[in-house]
Chain A
Amino acid sequence: QVQLVQSGAEVKKPGASVKVSCKVSGYTLTELSMHWVRQAPGKGLEWMGGFDPEDGETIYAQKFQGRVTMTEDTSTDTAYMELSSLRSEDTAVYYCATENPHDPVGAFDIWGQGTMVTVSS
């Protein structure tokens, strides 16, 4: 059973960067395609990007290109999402999410618990 455990809440000042981690257990990170989704308070879900196994590359949503970097440390089975040049509109819960490799359904059916990032001066 895949489990995703994310790092704790963060408070950042405008202009700073934040790096959120997502620790995988039950499988190795190389067996998964990790994606990141965020949700601002009272707003909808927003796909930020993720690993595309067809291309073997990480794909970023156009809105975040140039500001987001998604990386993986396979030695610790931990995925990271770093967002730079933070502004108040980036205040949101950030989720890592993936597909169960044992029973693939073509979309995320396993989610981390979410990490609250607050951007405030």
Chain B
Amino acid sequence: SYELTQPPSVSVSPGQTARITCSGDALPKKYAYWYQQKSGQAPVLVIYEDSKRPSGIPERFSGSSSGTMATLTISGAQVEDEADYYCYSTDSSGNHSWVFGGGTKLTVL
């Protein structure tokens, strides 16, 4: 089955840039989406279609995709950005099945 691979953890100091990667064989053809999940809460969509920000999401959140890797960038990370981040996409087999990456714990301290 299709898999998306993320690093388990990323750590930055406040004000630094955090980059979280997501690799998957179908990413050259399929969009990546990114969710933020804080403890005990439902996920929140922070990036859609590789690089677009939903309304209400701060400008410090951005996304990009190149080849088999998508990247979520948080420029000037803040303490409140500490959360789990998940990429989400579909495979290119045509069966319309979706998958989440394993998640990345972002620590900002």
Interface on A for B, CB 8 Å cutoff?
35, 37, 44-47, 50, 52, 54-55, 59, 61-63, 95, 103, 105-109, 111-114
Contact = CB atoms under 8 A, between A and B. Distances in A.
Contacts of A55: 96
Nearest to B32: A107
Interface string B65-109: 000000000000000000010101000000111111111000000
B100 A45 contact: yes
A55 B102 CA distance: 28
Nearest to A100: B54
Nearest to B35: A45
A118 to B, nearest CB: 16
Contacts of B103: 44-45
Contacts, number: 59
B37 interface: yes
B37 A111 contact: no
Nearest to B45: A109
Contacts of B98: 35, 47, 50, 61
24 contacts: A35-B98, A44-B102, A45-B35, A45-B37, A45-B86, A45-B103, A46-B100, A47-B88, A47-B100, A50-B98, A59-B97, A62-B1, A62-B97, A105-B49, A105-B52, A106-B33, A106-B49, A107-B88, A108-B43, A109-B45, A109-B48, A109-B54, A113-B42, A114-B42
